[in-house]
């Protein structure tokens, strides 16, 4: 799996790259957060700021723009004594000033998001850079944005800073073309994994489509908040494996198989409700070619509905069973999920 070179080798950088950088943002709160962080970065390494991000969230009232706009001089002095942030007076004072200007833009345009997206005609600029060195530090878009924001009284908003903001919040897609995220944030179709199946598999577990974190790791159920692996481990009364290879060995040892209903689709984020223009895997062929599979379990209602819609249940000898989703989006308690998932072992 290919990533942009700038993030490789650092876990914080890679997580930020895989999950946030370049994803279109339309939420004013997130835009304000990045304005504060990008301004704080001026002259520094972005990794330095990312390491302090949680401290900023705490000190800056979770980036509530109205609260920050009302920070008193005493609060500013307090912030300047906090080692958890960049203690630069001009940058801290600029953040409070910029919060006030941010509110003015919201009042004039209805939202800051609507304002900033107007500079790219309300649609992401999709670049196709083959090498990191081809990516510019500024463009005509960021030049125009910087000029306008400076006129409105913003500080620490040069073209370089604002182009970094545009990259981070998806107004431009500057992932190199070989990077796996280039297509994903571009809204092009994402592709699921090949099946994990053997000649002795007796049970097939079907999901809908891997989420962003799973695609980033290239691992089934790679989101640590997803309870899939924990549910299986509890089922078989073993410790949950930590290593992905060990997890796959657990699947094979207990004669399970894994796949997803969808092969390709468009989807913003990881929610099943956002799946569009899907095409499905050759599940009928897989089940016909692996006669040892006796039962098919659906990990959640979406996987079941997609199978029913695109493939149907006629002509199969296997038993089909719907389970509660292991996704963190499903708020059913773990204990209730486990009671249903015990059917896999029965």
Catalytic residue among 13, 21, 33, 38: 38
Which residue, among 169, 167, 212, 163, has the nearest Cα to 192 in the 3D structure? 212
pLDDT of residue 189: 73
Q: Give pLDDT tens digits for 103-127.
A: 999 999 999 999 999 999 998 998 9
pLDDT of residue 187: 67
Catalytic residue among 6, 14, 16, 93: 16
Q: Give pLDDT tens digits for 24-62.
A: 898 999 999 999 999 999 888 899 999 999 999 999 999
Catalytic residue among 13, 21, 33, 46: 46
More confident: 320 or 186:
320
Instruction: Give the start-end residues of each E strand in the chain.
Output: 125-126, 172-173, 190-191, 203-207, 256-260, 262-266, 276-280, 295-299, 319-323
Is 163 a catalytic site residue? no
pLDDT of residue 201: 96
**pLDDT confidence bin for 86, thresholds 50/70/90:** very high
Which residue, among 240, 239, 236, has the nearest Cα to 253 in the 3D structure? 236
CATH numeric code, 5-185: 1.10.340.30
What is the average pLDDT score of the chain?
93
The whole-model pTM stands at 0.59
Class of domain 190-344: alpha beta
pLDDT of 91 above 80: yes
Is 221 a catalytic site residue? no
Q: Please, what is the Cα angle at 191 between 205 and 172, to 5 degrees?
A: 140
- Taking each helix axis from N to C end, the angle separating 228-235 and 334-341, rounded to the nearest 10 degrees, works out to 60
The domains of the chain are located at: 5-185, 190-344
Please compute the mean of the pLDDT values over residues 319-334 and round it to a whole number. 94
Is 46 a catalytic site residue? yes
């Amino acid at each position: 799996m290919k990533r942009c070179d700038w993030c490789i080798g650092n876990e914080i950088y890679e997580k930020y790259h895989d999950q946030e950088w370049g994803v279109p943002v339309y939420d004013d709160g997130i835009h304000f957060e990045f304005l504060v962080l990008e301004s704080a970065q001026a002259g520094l390494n972005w990794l330095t700021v990312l390491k302090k991000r949680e401290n900023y969230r705490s000190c800056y009232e979770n980036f509530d723009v109205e609260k920050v706009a009302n920070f008193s001089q005493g609060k500013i002095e307090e912030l300047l004594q906090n080692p958890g942030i960049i203690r630069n007076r001009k940058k801290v004072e600029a953040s409070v000033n910029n919060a006030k200007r941010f509110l003015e833009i919201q009042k004039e345009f209805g939202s800051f998001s609507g304002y900033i997206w107007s500079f790219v005609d309300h649609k992401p600029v999709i670049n196709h850079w083959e090498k990191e060195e081809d990516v510019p530090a500024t463009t005509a878009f960021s030049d125009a944005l910087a000029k306008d924001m400076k006129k409105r009284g913003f500080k620490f908003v040069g073209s370089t800073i604002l182009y970094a903001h545009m990259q981070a919040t998806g107004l431009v897609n500057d992932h190199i073309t070989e990077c796996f995220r280039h297509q994903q944030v571009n809204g092009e179709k994402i592709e699921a994994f090949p099946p994990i199946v053997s000649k002795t598999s007796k049970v097939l577990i079907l999901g809908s489509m891997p989420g962003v974190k799973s695609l980033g790791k290239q691992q089934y159920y790679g989101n640590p908040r997803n309870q899939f692996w924990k549910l299986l481990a509890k089922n078989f009364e073993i410790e949950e494996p930590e290593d992905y290879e060990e997890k796959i060995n657990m699947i094979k040892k207990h004669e399970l198989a894994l796949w997803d209903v969808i092969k390709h689709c468009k989807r913003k984020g990881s929610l099943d409700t956002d799946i569009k223009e899907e095409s499905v895997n050759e599940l009928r062929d897989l089940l016909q070619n692996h006669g040892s599979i006796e039962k098919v379990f659906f990990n959640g209602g979406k996987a079941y509905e997609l199978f029913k819609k695109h493939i149907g249940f006629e002509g199969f000898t296997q038993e089909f069973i719907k389970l509660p989703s292991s996704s963190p989006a499903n708020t059913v308690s773990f204990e209730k999920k486990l009671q249903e998932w015990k059917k896999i072992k029965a």
